[in-house]
Amino acid sequence: MTERSKPTPGPAIAVHNVLKPCDEAHARSFVRPVHSEGWQICQTVGPNGPANADFIAEAFTVHHETGLTPQQLREALADVARTALDFIEPWMKDRKYPETPEEWCAQHNADVPDAIYAARDRARTAIAKVEGRS
């Protein structure tokens, strides 16, 4: 991204019902930088306007705080989860951990080491969520 194309400095907030409309169909919401009272980034109108403004402000703030767009952040989180899984699964295989905690308990007649299975399952869940499978 060039200096010229960088977005407005953030973070941003959504301000709702700015013009005090008489009905929901004409409700107005604005997204503006937190530290700038005098101007707005965008305006939304209608019954979905407040939700859209909240969403836009959140995406704007994510970019401001991380330097990444929401899509880039999503991809980075998937990479982190895959890295964790790439470490955990071979480690479990080398130590002959079975696929499920129940199998481990049956083989060892002992309580399962929950943290290892939980870490593996969290990494798998994060990857599935990012890939749209959950």
What is the structure's pLDDT at 54? 92
Cβ-defined contacts of 38-43 (< 8 Å, 24+): 41/8, 41/12
- Please calculate the CA angle 70-24-35 and round it to the nearest 5 degrees: 45
Instruction: Say if pTM beats, i.e. exceeds, 0.75.
Output: no
pLDDT in tens, the chain (134 residues): 445 456 667 788 888 876 665 566 667 888 888 877 767 788 888 888 889 999 999 888 888 888 888 888 888 888 888 888 888 888 888 878 777 777 777 777 666 667 778 888 888 888 888 777 76
- 3-state secondary structure at position 55: helix
Domain limits of the chain? 3-66, 70-130
